[in-house]
Amino acid sequence: MTTAVQRPARRPVPPKPPRTRGRVLGWIVAALVLAAHLAAWRATEISASALVEGATGMVDFLSEAVPPDFGADVLAESAAASVVTLWIGLLGTTLSIPGSLVLALLATRGTAPGWVYQAARGLLSFLRAVPDVVFALIFVTAVGLGPFPGVLALLCHNVGVMGKLWAEALEEADPGPAQALRSAGAGRVQVAAHALLPVVTPQLVGLLLYRFDVNVRSSLVLGLVGAGGIGFLINQSIQLFQFDELLTHILVVLVLIVVVDQLSALARRLLGSAP
């Protein structure tokens, strides 16, 4: 006599949760984003008619700027000023390395006491929040016109930015070697020197090259407020309505930026291929 195999009873499929709540939340977010864009559009006074009306002025500017002035004197002055701009960016980057490294270590969890960590984070936030142009205006007032205030401005601002980037890189490092040294009784300085920095050095150098690229561009803007370099010549050409010389300076800046980009890319490739 065979017994029938009892099949397990089918359990009812639970109903899918309603998606009404998610849809409502999505519509609310979309409405908020749209409202923010409408408010920004009105606050920035964007006007298509003003752009159309200003087209005549752009045509006049281009007619006066083209062809650029490729005279020997203008090119020599522009090339010399672009080299000064490059030096401002270079010194503003390299001179900020000691301060950035010290503040980065102090702003990394585990390498400094709690109150020191908070103070270092606050100082980095302050240096990063103040634009380099504001620093340039302050130092131009203090030490006068020229490249020197531009170097000081980039140095102060770059310490805040690079210190923050380096601190984040240190915190994202592999915690294994650091924990091993701490368990062996190593101090904070020993942990930083032998466990953290050797691991993240390539990343720190890559971030340094990135900041050098950015600082060369920033030094151009600093020249507009009297901090020397080719930005000072651009501002002078605008004030004197010498638009053909202005276009020459812009083209020289373009060449400078391309050269800096290529050198930075080459350095990154060499860094990446190094054992």
List phi, psi (to 5°) of 252: -65, -40
Q: Which of 8-12, 69-73, 253-257 is the least confident region?
A: 8-12
Q: Which of 3-7, 122-126, 212-216, 224-228 is the least confident region?
A: 3-7
- The predicted-structure confidence for 83-120, as pLDDT tens digits, reads as follows 888 899 899 999 999 998 888 888 887 777 778 888 98
Higher pLDDT, 264 or 123: 123
Confidence (pLDDT) at 186 = 60
Burial of 216 (0-12, 13-18, 19+ CB in 10 A): buried
CA dihedral 84, 88, 91, 94 (to 10 degrees): -120
Q: Which residue has the tokens 């140095």?
A: 155
Asked whether the predicted pLDDT for residue 225 surpasses 60, the reply is yes
Segment 210-214 mean pLDDT: 86
Confidence (pLDDT) at 34 = 92
Confidence (pLDDT) at 158 = 92
Segment 256-261 mean pLDDT: 86
When computed from its CA atoms, the radius of gyration of the chain, rounded to whole angstroms, is: 28
Q: Which two tokens stand for residue 66?
A: 């083209």
Asked whether the predicted pLDDT for residue 15 surpasses 80, the reply is no
Question: Which residue, among 14, 211, 13, has the nearest Cα to 93 in the 3D structure?
Answer: 211
Asked whether the predicted pLDDT for residue 26 surpasses 90, the reply is no
Q: Which of 148-152, 180-184, 216-220, 251-255 is the least confident region?
A: 180-184
Confidence (pLDDT) at 181 = 61
Q: What DSSP string runs through 119-147? A: HHHHHHHHHHHS-HHHHHHHHHHHH-SSH
Sign of the CA dihedral with 51 first, then 52, 53, and 56 last: positive
Confidence (pLDDT) at 35 = 92
Asked whether the predicted pLDDT for residue 62 surpasses 60, the reply is yes
Segment 207-217 mean pLDDT: 86
Confidence (pLDDT) at 53 = 74
Structural domains in the chain, CATH included, are 73-273 (1.10.3720.10)
- The predicted-structure confidence for 155-198, as pLDDT tens digits, reads as follows 999 999 998 888 888 877 666 666 666 666 666 666 666 667 77
Average pLDDT score, the chain: 80
How many CB atoms lie under 10 A from the CB of residue 21? 9
